Structure formats: structure tokens, C-alpha cells
A and B are shown apart, each in its own frame.
Chain A
Amino acid sequence: MAKHETPMLDQLESGPWPSFVSDLKQEAANRAANPNNLEYQIPVDVVEDILGVLELSFKHGRTHWKHGGIVGVFGYGGGVIGRYCDQPEMFPGVAHFHTMRVNQPGAKFYKTDFLRNLCDLWDLRGSGITNMHGSTGDIIFLGTRTEQLEEIFYDLTHKYNQDLGGSGSNLRTPADCIGQARCEYACYDTQGLCYHLTQEYQDELHRPAFPYKFKFKFDGCPNCCVASIARADMSFIGTWRDNIGIDQEAVQAYIGGELNPNANDHGDRDWGAFDIQKEVIDLCPTECMWMEDGKLMIDDKECNRCMHCINVMPRALRIGQDRGLSILVGAKAPILDGAQMGSLLVPFVKAEDPYDEIKEVIENLWDWWMEEGKNRERLGELIKRQGFQKMLEVTGIKPMVQHVQEPRHNPYIFWKEDEVEGGFDRDINEFRKHHQR
């Protein structure tokens, strides 16, 4: 018999999809049965109460959580988010229900024993409920009491060599794709750069002094599996400067049907014979591909790295050899409104340890944003408010063609008086000699 009646939540289980309500009920039953004889450090019925408070919120049409809190672990200004229920008598198990963000391993690359250790710790000292993963990439522990925070932090850092992530007006936990560890498209070592910057900017990650959140995300190629271009204040996307590699024999093998397109991703149905014209060449957004004497040709200077041809024929086409990354800035994906994609700032930079050129761009941007940014203003909003040109000035990057989408489309780069010979003043009489009013 459940502790609280939850008719509205029960309805959520009736759809065709997996339901978090079923998961919570399963965890509630598991905690009650306590098969491993744990000495639970927070109330055993915490999960029952989370179901109860959620049902009540549905009934009332408003939340029963208070906003934020002052809790944290000593020395850190992020990683813990205070959550308190405003009906603690009714739901004592969730009177405190703090969130902890755990910095995920690079590319979310972990072994099962690592996960088991984290879950065992969380079963003992928390609710057992996790969010794998939060949108910033962290492993999120949902729900514990204040007195457990330091205990959990000690075990995480001392036993499992694992840090907390970022929250609040901090650098958020940097997130990366699996990169060169398993992906042939990766143009740089995403995990290398992500780890390096995480270590370099520990102070920014743990001690809030920014106007608002700031996110780094690292994608090894323009497929953008981490979606950095859509949600990171600063996204690092792998690219190349030379030409796409072509294996003409493999192209013929795709045309002849010996190789399946998209690595056989669509092999569960018969879509008919592969048509390179229809499925690759005609879909190239810059129309830079054609067949000539049975050979696939690419006008590489027109390529905009959409990755479609490489994704369709990975055995025939390869990313270039002169590899590095592009830096885009200003993306954000807020829940309510104001979503914005990143704008290209650095078209190409080599990504080599110790990444000094990259860090120079980061620190120049931060200095500008920390001084000029309004409270709760993201970098993308500051760029819009003060202008892209201002950002180029503070980063010391010269305007270049890659900054402009197309002529006269986004003419945000203007001449300044000191850049123009003779300035903006002119002799009007001299002018009128040659030009009538």
C-alpha cells in the first residue's frame, strides 16, 4: 500500500512510454524492502514523499518547492542546490531535498564499478534518485538532507576521486563528445581539451563571480553530438582546413551496393538501390559536389562542413588532415524563450596542448563579460547588446569574411573614424563643387 494516493501520477504510467513514475515506485519499494540492509541516512520513505508532493503539485497546479537555498560544501560556491519543501509536515521525507551535481567523467566514459560506487553512496546518504545526465552533462543526485552534504562530498573526493560540478553563476561543468576515443570524425582531442580547461578553470567552476551561468561544450566534428552550437556560451567544434579525403573505389562500392550507406543505419527496411545523385550530391547545401567520368568530385572551398556526405559514405569520404577547431560564442537554450545559436568567432585554431591561443580568447571574453555583463545576462545577450564588433575588439580578433553570413546580410562591422583616412569630416564646399544638392 503506497503511503500517498497518487491517481494523477498513476495516469502518467498508462502511456506507451517508459514512465518516471514507475521508476520512482520501483525505487520506493526497493528502499522499503532494503535488500542490502543499509542504514539509510535520510528517511526511508523519501521516494514515497516525492511522489506525494508531486501529486499535490498537480492537484494545486503550483509548486511546493521553495526557491533555492544557502546550503553547500565548504570551499565551493556551486555543485549543491538547496531544495526545500513548503509542506514539510505532510512530506517529512522531502523537507530537505537538495540536489548535488557530480562532474561527469570526460565524454561520460565510465566503468560499471564507478557507477555502482556512486549509486551505493547515493542509496546510503541520499534518496537513490539520480538524473543521468543533466543537460550540462553532470551526473545529478536528486534529494538529500543538509547534514549529508559534507559526508557525500568527502566520499566523492577521497574515495572515488570525483569532483562536484558547477551550478549558479559559475562556469558549468564542461561537456564533451566521445571524440577520438571512439569516433573517426573527431578533428581534435575533445577529452584532452575538456579536461585541460576543467583543471585550468577550477576557480571559475567552483566559486561564482560571473553575471550568470557560462557553458563550455566540445564537439569533435560538425555533427555536433553534444549540440554545443545550440546551447554553449562557448562551443568548440572540430573542423579541418584542407580537403575531404576521397576513396574513389569505396565510392564505387557504395554506388554498386557492396557497401551500405549510413553504415547500414537504415538497413531494417528496403529503401531501394543507393542513388548517389539523389541521396548525396543533390542534398549538398552548397552544391559543391558532382560526378565526373565516374569519379566523385568536391569543390572543397565551397564546403560548409555539413557532414552529410561523410555521414552517408563514411568508408569513402574522410575528414581532412589539417585539423583543428572553430570557436562559436553566444548560444543559449533557456527553457522559456530567447534561444539563440552560436556565432562564429574563431574560424580555425589548432587544438594543441597547452591550448594557449584558446585560453587567451576565453579570458578576454570573460574579462569583458564580467565587467560589462548585467546581472543574469548571458554572453550571447551581451554580444547582442554591445555588438559583435565590440566583442572582436575585446578579443583582439580582426573582422574576417567568415564572420559575415553573406554580403549585406549581417553588416555589424563598421569603420571607425580613426580607421578611415581623413576621418569622417569633409570640406562641404569642396564636395559641393562636384556634387549638386
Chain B
Amino acid sequence: MALDYEESKTKIVEKLTKKAKTKSKFYFSDLAKILEAKPREAKKVVNKLVEEQVLELWSSGSTSMYGLKGIGKQASAEQED
């Protein structure tokens, strides 16, 4: 069954905001777990959240992680905000 986008967005934003003090970057599998969905279903929602700039991607070059846009040290440390 396809995931409801708005409901999924709320779930992710709530969970990531709650954890924001201790953790700002999450693996894709963490997001799939929050959504309790199969990776392929979760991917559709996560892609849309990135497109809408709710989430942003961080990459080391080898690994990719997701976080709420603007949360964490990255943006200000890199003068990107």
C-alpha cells in the first residue's frame, strides 16, 4: 500500500526534530524504519521531502545521509546558510 505523503512527512519531521539535539544526520534505513515501510516505498516519500527541501542530503562522497534542512553544524560551518 502506498504511503500517505502528509502523514509520512509529519512522522519524519516529528521524529527527527525530537532527536535533533543529539543527532542531525540519519541513514536512509533510519527513515524507512520511522515510516515502517519497505525501502522502495520509503524512497518515494524521502525523495519528495528532499525535493520540497524539508530534508537535505549530506554526503561524504562514499556515504549519503539525510537530515532536516538547516539542522546541525554543517550549513553554518560551510557558510552555506
Contacts of B60 in A (CB 8 A): 67-68, 81, 168
Provide the A347-366 mask, 1 if CB < 8 A to any CB of B, else 0. Answer: 00000000000000000000
Bound Cα distance A370, B59 (Å): 18
Q: A82 within 8 Å of B by Cβ?
A: yes
Bound Cα distance A376, B27 (Å): 9
Contacts of B42 in A (CB 8 A): 209
Asked if B64 and A169 sit within 8 Å, CB to CB, the answer is yes
Asked if B74 and A212 sit within 8 Å, CB to CB, the answer is no
Asked if B78 and A84 sit within 8 Å, CB to CB, the answer is yes
Asked if A99 and B63 sit within 8 Å, CB to CB, the answer is no
Asked if B27 and A207 sit within 8 Å, CB to CB, the answer is no
Contacts of B38 in A (CB 8 A): 371
Interface of chain A residues 57 through 99 with chain B (CB within 8 A) = 66-72, 75, 77-78, 80-82, 84, 95-96, 99
Bound Cα distance A300, B80 (Å): 63
Contacts of B56 in A (CB 8 A): 70
Asked if B78 and A77 sit within 8 Å, CB to CB, the answer is no
Task: Using known A-B contacts A69-B78, A370-B39, determine if residue A207 contacts B63 with beta carbons closer than 8 Å.
Answer: no
Provide the A149-188 mask, 1 if CB < 8 A to any CB of B, else 0. Answer: 0000000000000000001111000000000000000000
A371, closest chain B residue (CB) = B39
Contacts of B9 in A (CB 8 A): none
Q: A43 within 8 Å of B by Cβ?
A: no
Asked if A69 and B43 sit within 8 Å, CB to CB, the answer is no
Asked if B61 and A70 sit within 8 Å, CB to CB, the answer is no
Bound Cα distance A203, B77 (Å): 30
Q: A208 within 8 Å of B by Cβ?
A: yes
Q: Which chain A residues have a beta carbon within 8 Å of chain B's beta carbons?
A: 66-72, 75, 77-78, 80-82, 84, 95-96, 99, 146, 167-170, 203, 207-213, 367, 370-371, 375-376
Known pairs A72-B57, A80-B59; list 14 more (Cβ under 8 Å).
A69-B74, A69-B78, A70-B75, A84-B78, A96-B78, A167-B62, A168-B61, A168-B62, A209-B28, A211-B29, A212-B63, A371-B39, A375-B27, A376-B63
A sample of 15 inter-chain contacts (CB < 8 A) reads A68-B61, A69-B59, A69-B74, A70-B56, A70-B74, A70-B78, A70-B80, A81-B60, A82-B58, A82-B59, A170-B64, A367-B40, A370-B39, A370-B40, A376-B63
Q: Which chain B residues have a beta carbon within 8 Å of chain A's beta carbons?
A: 27-29, 38-40, 42-43, 46-47, 50-51, 56-64, 74-75, 77-80
